[in-house]
Amino acid sequence: VPETFNIAAYACERWAESEPDRVALSLDRPDGDARSYTFREVDRKASKFAAYLAAEGVGAGDRIAINGTQCVESLAGHLAAFKLGAVSVPLTVLLGSDGLEYRLSDCEASVFLVDEAAVDALRSVRERVDSLELVVTYGDFGVDGAVTFAEAIDGRPDRFDSEDTAADDEAFIIYTSGTT
């Protein structure tokens, strides 16, 4: 086990440097829309989002809840959390208000990157989640006080130096579906 290891550096940054045009993510949507992203593109989005979060005071150990479908913003959100040394909290879009409130409160999420499918649930619980300071949406879904992912990364630097994280630093908090 190495003394320090950063998931974003290992899973994306090294490929963005050595094989920048290699495909990192390929999305084929049911509606026929298809798009591929290179390691360079994914790393740039993650770096820009990490820079935005850092400017907002988010750092090592902070919880970043991420809910959404399989998309480049979700991937960039997780990688940005790892770059910061923050803790990624993946959440399903299928959560209702009670499940969402419990998870956001329990992990003390300070940031929520939210998909349109969870916006109504978020609206109904947001005032009861004391730790939640920043909401970033995948698109413009009319969430008061939120910024869109595109707004958050606009004008941010393409590079963000990942934090050195130790083997025993938290990286994820994962909740079960609650059906077991």
What does each of the 180 residues of the chain score in pLDDT, given as a tens digit?
Answer: 889 999 999 999 999 999 999 999 999 988 888 999 999 999 999 999 999 999 999 999 999 999 988 899 999 999 999 999 999 999 998 889 999 999 999 999 999 999 998 999 999 999 999 999 999 999 999 889 999 999 999 999 999 999 999 989 999 999 987 665
Long-range CB contact pairs, 38-42, < 8 A, 24+: 39/12, 39/15, 40/16, 41/72, 42/12, 42/16, 42/72, 42/75, 42/76, 42/79
pTM of the prediction?
0.94
Using the 8-state DSSP alphabet, how is residue 164 labeled? Answer: P
